[in-house]
Structure 1
Amino acid sequence: MSTHKSYSTESYYISDELWAKIEPLIPPAKAKKKPGRPRMDDRMVMEAIFHVFISGCAWKSLPRSFGAPSTIHERYQEWKRQGVLRDLWLCGILTSRALNNNRRAS
């Protein structure tokens, strides 16, 4: 049973098993230059990104249960520049079959 609490009410979640494969591929967060809100949880952001990939919705149309769409899109752009998404694809994590295996049953 997963110990991760998905705050999303949507159809996608990342199991503990899958997260154990994804987490090492994500670079450590850079130190903030200014104080502000705490960084959004990487796992939550990845669930939102996978939701966009599966559903095809626009970033601005992401359900608020995932968090702020602008924050999620910024992290997507950051990870894309850093090669995280390429690495997920090369490891077989970012394939339609792998993504669909982690969809919630409706």
Structure 2
Amino acid sequence: MSDLYWLSEAQMRRLAPLLPNDTRGKPRVDDRRVISGIVHVLRSGCPWRHAPREYGPPKTLYNRYVRWAIKGVWRRLFETLAAAGGP
């Protein structure tokens, strides 16, 4: 049994409109993989450097988490999902 966490396609469809689209330079790597990795680290409490390699480089996970925190992406995302209710 795998202890990896993966967002479902339905969850990603719900999140997609809430994600930033102002990317400059190189396009973002797979949002589903990176966000799933961030959730895994936050749920498990493991250090970023110990994130399973299936999620990609730990530096990518950490950088995305921090950059989106500074931009308020996570707050807006959680507020929007909480206001919508449901699971």
- Name the TM-score, length of structure 1 as normaliser: 0.66
Determine the C-alpha separation between the residues in 2 that align with 1:54 and 1:83: 20
Identity, % of aligned positions: 37
Of structures 1 and 2, the one with the larger relative CO (CA 8 A, separation 6+) is: 1
Determine the C-alpha separation between the residues in 1 that align with 2:43 and 2:49: 15
Structure whose residues are more often helix by fraction? 2
**Structure 1 residue 11 displacement after superposition:** 2.3
1:3 aligned residue? none
Unaligned runs of 5+ in 2: none
**Structure 1 residue 24 displacement after superposition:** 1.0
**Structure 1 residue 46 displacement after superposition:** 0.4
Determine the C-alpha separation between the residues in 2 that align with 1:80 and 1:50: 14
- Name the TM-score, length of structure 2 as normaliser: 0.79
Determine the C-alpha separation between the residues in 2 that align with 1:78 and 1:24: 18
Instruction: Report runs of 4+ in structure 1 exceeding 6 Å deviation.
Output: none
1:23 aligned residue? 16
1:41 aligned residue? 30
Determine the C-alpha separation between the residues in 2 that align with 1:13 and 1:29: 25
1:6 aligned residue? none
Unaligned runs of 5+ in 1: 1-8, 93-97, 99-106
CA-atom RMSD in angstroms: 1.9
Question: 1:66 corresponds to which letter in structure 2?
Answer: Y
**Structure 1 residue 52 displacement after superposition:** 0.9
Aligned residue pairs total 81
Residues 11-59 of structure 1: CA deviation (Å, up to 9, x unaligned): 2111121111111111114221xx7xx6321111100011011111111
The answer to whether 1:72 aligns with 2:65 is no
Determine the C-alpha separation between the residues in 2 that align with 1:39 and 1:18: 18
